[in-house]
Amino acid sequence: MRVDVVTIFPDYLAPLDLSLIGKARAAGTLDLAVHDLRTWTHDVHRTVDDTPYGGGPGMVMRPEPWGEALDALAGPETHLIVPSPAGTPFSQATARALAGDSHLMFACGRYEGIDQRVLDHAASRMRVSEVSLGDYVLFGGEVAVLVVLEAVTRLLPGVLGNADSLVEESHADGVLEAPMYTKPPSWRGLDVPEILRSGDHGKIARWRREQALQRTAERRPDLIAGLERPDQGA
Ligand code: ADE
């Protein structure tokens, strides 16, 4: 997968050299480049923002540098992702869909956002999605890009050492995952649930499913409401 990130703070994306994303880049699974938006400015101050039409506080990112960045980096295969608190909620399902794309381009907005015409113009040439991490406001899209890329990269074939991890984790089947334990069997007076040490894989799977449903009902009743009942199955 090819990924281009455009930002006025390239250093914010430094963690993309680390850990499993760094390894995926080194292995060639992920061909990722981070670009400074100011590369596409032409004035001495390398201006990227201006005051909003219609008034109001803050600054808006001017369309020209973004237009040139898109001309330079994007093609018909590109899926332009714009992190924004006004976007549609990002989820594991979104991550799965993005993992199937061949080219993702992230436009990191700052200040009060990017001039809407950038997105409208791009939408006539490529797919454009505004995604939100949640109902809160960050300084800009950079941290959201780190989150989205981490969620997407770990779904790419060969990135996770053990692909089974993807099957049992939270949100894989619409519920939160059951609690996990490792050695020692007893720690500070707390024991690992006996059933996990029983070796009975059928019982363990049933116990984990019950725990997962119980946790989900307690913590995320909204997810339970969205689960397909067996009698509704296709
Ligand atoms: N940029 C600013 N706030 C954001 C949010 N909640 N999600 C995604 N991008 C953002």
CATH (domain of 50): 3.40.1280.10
Q: Same structural domain for residues 202 and 112?
A: no
Q: Same structural domain for residues 27 and 113?
A: yes
231 alpha carbon – ligand 1 mean position (Å):
38
- Among 153, 187, 220, residue at a domain's last position: 153
Q: Same structural domain for residues 132 and 220?
A: no
Q: Same structural domain for residues 81 and 181?
A: no
Is 166 a domain residue? no
Structure tokens at 3: 């990924």
CATH of residue 177's domain is 1.10.1270.20
136 alpha carbon – ligand 1 mean position (Å):
7
What is residue 234's predicted lDDT score, i.e. its pLDDT? 43
12 alpha carbon – ligand 1 mean position (Å):
15
Is 164 a domain residue? no
Q: Same structural domain for residues 85 and 27?
A: yes
From residue 15, alpha-carbon distances to 105, 107, 108, 136, 140 in Å are 18, 18, 16, 23, 16
What is residue 232's predicted lDDT score, i.e. its pLDDT? 54
77 alpha carbon – ligand 1 mean position (Å):
25
What is residue 147's predicted lDDT score, i.e. its pLDDT? 98
Q: Are 126 and 80 in contact (CB under 8 A)?
A: yes
**What's this model's pTM, rounded to 2 decimal places?**
0.93
The answer on whether 137 is annotated among ligand-binding residues is yes
Cis status, amide bond into 230, omega within 30 of 0: no
Q: Same structural domain for residues 48 and 134?
A: yes
pLDDT digits (tens), the chain, 234 positions: 999 999 999 999 999 999 999 999 999 999 999 999 999 999 999 999 999 999 999 999 999 999 999 999 999 999 999 999 999 999 999 999 999 999 999 999 998 999 999 999 999 999 999 999 999 999 999 999 999 999 999 999 989 888 777 887 888 889 999 999 999 999 999 999 999 999 999 999 999 999 999 999 999 999 998 887 655 544
What is residue 229's predicted lDDT score, i.e. its pLDDT? 66
Q: Are 108 and 5 in contact (CB under 8 A)?
A: yes
Is 15 a domain residue? yes
Q: Are 111 and 58 in contact (CB under 8 A)?
A: yes
For residues 83 and 24, what is the distance between their CA atoms, to the nearest angstrom? 23
Chain-centre distance for alpha carbon 150:
6
Is 116 a domain residue? yes
Is 111 a domain residue? yes
The answer on whether 136 is annotated among ligand-binding residues is yes
- Among 127, 153, 179, residue at a domain's last position: 153
| Nearest atom, ligand 1, residue 133 CA | 7
| Measured distance between the N- and C-terminal CA atoms of the chain, rounded to whole angstroms | 33
Is 160 a domain residue? no
Q: How many domains does the chain have?
A: 2
Residue type, 212: A
Q: How many CB atoms lie within 10 A of CB 129?
A: 19
Is 163 a domain residue? no
| Nearest atom, ligand 1, residue 137 CA | 3
What is the Cβ-side half-sphere exposure of residue 22, based on CA atoms within 13 angstroms?
A: 7
Q: Same structural domain for residues 57 and 88?
A: yes
Is 14 a domain residue? yes
Structure tokens at 47: 């201006």
Q: Same structural domain for residues 148 and 184?
A: no
| Nearest atom, ligand 1, residue 109 CA | 1
Mutate to test the pocket of ligand 1, among 130, 135, 137, 148 (most ligand atoms within 8 A of CB): 137
Q: Same structural domain for residues 149 and 182?
A: no
Q: Same structural domain for residues 225 and 121?
A: no
Chain-centre distance for alpha carbon 47:
29
* Domain limits for position 194: 171-232
The answer on whether 149 is annotated among ligand-binding residues is no
> Phi then psi for 89, rounded to 5 degrees?
-65, 130
- Among 101, 123, 153, residue at a domain's last position: 153
Ligand 1 pocket at CB < 6 A = 83-85, 132-134, 136-138, 140-141, 144
Q: Same structural domain for residues 43 and 149?
A: yes
Nearest CA to ligand 1 atom 5: 85
Q: Same structural domain for residues 68 and 110?
A: yes
138 alpha carbon – ligand 1 mean position (Å):
5
101 alpha carbon – ligand 1 mean position (Å):
22
The answer on whether 134 is annotated among ligand-binding residues is yes
Q: What is the helix (H) or strand (E) element at residue 120, kind and residue range? A: helix 116-123
